Amino acid sequence: MKKILELKRNHVIIFAIMVILVHKLLTSTFGTLINHLIPFDLTTNFGFMLVEFTVFLVALFLLYITSQKQVLNQGFTGFLKSLWSGMVFFGIVALGCLVFTTEGITNNAEYKSFPEILFFILFVLLVGLAEEFIFRGIIADSILQRFEHSPAGIVFTVISSSVLFGLFHFFNFFSGQSLEETFVQIIATSMTGCLLGAIYVRHKNIYAVAFLHAILDFMTMFEDGFLVGNSIQYENIAIDFVPRLIQALKSQSVFVIAAIFVLRPKILKKLVRESK
């Protein structure tokens, strides 16, 4: 434990990378073990929920061994303010779900059973909690502890934790996702992470950013989680790389713009004053 704290204090970026690698190692190990002991179909929402529950437990464990468990004590302090700062998420999610639902009705789509839909909702909530515990609760918070005494340090915290959040999704390539799609996802999630990080460093409520993360995942995986014949599992599907990348840059730019507004100069100066 002492060496972990020394690494966090003296080499926080290396510490952050180590957290990601240990997290991936533990989740892969325990996920394989659980599937061996309790075989389940990974093409079902229940299977993905069960795996993600393991990921959530690992994230919770890492919060404790990295001495970051204090982020769990935030309760509702800053919760509503965080949601207000993340209103762009609600707008995008509402519009996206409306489009997908309309398409489903038009195409006479068949929906999965109620239990499977419930498992999907629990799945996205667990994804939100697990990833935010790691990338905002441990990584962003640890970097912020080192650099929160200057506006540049706060901005560095948001950017560095967001880049690491994006790079984390490279592991999806080993789950069957195409390299092109994985690269686009890394860029897109890094940009999304900028707003999640900005909201977290401003309001310091891990539960709010986890909720915002979850509802965005709910929208992006809506069809996979709700419609019969679809699976959350990654597929090696060829994409038109350049147009897809340009589309991602355009669509995700709204999160970067919102992040800049959330951490505008006036707010940055206020956060620096509060940290001293």
183-213 pLDDT tens trace: 999 999 999 999 999 999 999 999 999 999 9
For residue 270, give its domain range: 2-275
Q: Is-contact 139 152, C-beta < 8 A? A: no
pLDDT digits (tens, 9 = 90+) for 208-250: 999 999 999 999 999 899 988 888 877 666 678 889 999 999 9
Q: What is the rounded distance in angstroms from the CA atom of residue 69 to the CA atom of residue 230?
A: 37
**Rg of the chain (C-alpha set):** 19
Mean pLDDT for the stretch of residues 7-15: 91
Give which of 141, 166, 163 is closest to 154, Cα–Cα.
141
In this model, does residue 32 exceed pLDDT 80?
no
Number of domains in the chain: 1
Tokens linked to 25: 């190692």
Which DSSP category does 38 fall into? Answer: S
Rounded to the nearest 5°, which phi and psi values hold at 86? -105, 25
**For residue 207, what pLDDT is reported?**
97
3-state DSSP call for residue 111? strand
Residues paired with residue 111 on neighbouring β-strands, in sequence order:
227
